[in-house]
Amino acid sequence: MSMINEKFGPRVTSAWNELRPQTRNLLERAWHSKPAAVIEHSRAYDPRADRELSRLLAALDDRSQPRTAAAEDDSTQEASRLADACVQMLTQQTQSAEVFAQLIQRAHARQQFARLDELANGMSLRLAPSELCDLARAPNVVVRALAHEVLAQAPTSLLRALLYDPVDAEVARSVIERQAHEFGLEEAKRTLREIDELGG
C-alpha cells in the first residue's frame, strides 16, 4: 500500500499525519479502490473528519497547481487519486456548507458537471435552508448560483419561515419570486401577495 512521504510535500504530509486512524483507514481503502466505489463510513456524521479531509484536499490541490510534464511522476498520479478519494468521501458525507463550497469550486474548475449535480443533490438533502442561504451569498458566483438552484427546488413553506429572519429574508424573497414568476407555483404567488398586503 502506498504511503505518504516527503515526495508529496510538507503541507500534504502534515495534513496526512493529522488524520485520525479511523479517517485514515477509510481514506486508504477509498484511495486504493476503484474510482466508482461507494465508500462505507459510520452512520453518524463526523464534522472532524470533514475538516481533516478538507484540509488534506486543499493541500493536494495546492500541490497540483504548477503542473508540468516533468512533474507527472508516480507521486503526482498517487496524489491525484488520493484527492479523488477525499472528494468522494466528502461528497457522500459532508454536512458543512463550507466544504460544499470547496467541492463546488473544485468541480467547476475541472468542468466536472456530473459532480456538480451530485453536490446539488447532497446540498438539498443535508443542508438546512439557512445554510443554503449562506451559500447563496457566497463570494464565488458558481457557489451562489448552485445554492439558488437548490433553494428554488425547496418547498415554498420552508422558504416562508426565512422571511422573518433578518439575515436570510432577502435571499428567501428572491427565491420565492422566482418560484412564482418562473415556475408559476401558486403557493409562491400567494405568499408574495400576502407579503405585499402586509407591506413587506
- The predicted-structure confidence for 155-179, as pLDDT tens digits, reads as follows 999 999 999 999 999 999 999 999 9
- Could you tell me if 118 and 150 lie in one domain? yes
**CA–CA separation, 157 and 183 (whole Å):** 15
How many independent structural domains does the chain possess? Answer: 2
Residue whose C-alpha cell is 413587506: 200
Q: Decide if 101 is inside a domain.
A: no
Cβ neighbours of residue 83 closer than 8 Å, sequence gap 6 or more: 57, 60, 61, 64
- Could you tell me if 65 and 36 lie in one domain? yes
Q: Decide if 33 is inside a domain.
A: yes
Q: What local confidence, expressed as pLDDT, does residue 36 receive? A: 46
Q: Decide if 139 is inside a domain.
A: yes
**Positive or negative torsion for Cα 36, 41, 43, 44:** negative
Q: What local confidence, expressed as pLDDT, does residue 66 receive? A: 56
Q: What is the pLDDT of residues 49-87, one digit of tens each?
A: 999 999 999 999 998 765 554 455 677 888 899 999 999
- Could you tell me if 40 and 69 lie in one domain? yes
Q: What is the pLDDT of residues 125-151, one digit of tens each?
A: 999 999 999 999 999 999 999 999 999
Residue 74 structural domain: 1-93
> Are 57 and 83 in contact, with CB atoms under 8 Å apart?
yes
> Are 148 and 163 in contact, with CB atoms under 8 Å apart?
no
Q: Decide if 107 is inside a domain.
A: no
- The model's confidence at residue 1, banded by pLDDT at 50, 70 and 90, is very low
Give the pTM: 0.89
Which of 99, 2, 4, 84 minimizes the C-alpha distance to 54?
Answer: 99
**CA–CA separation, 7 and 24 (whole Å):** 19
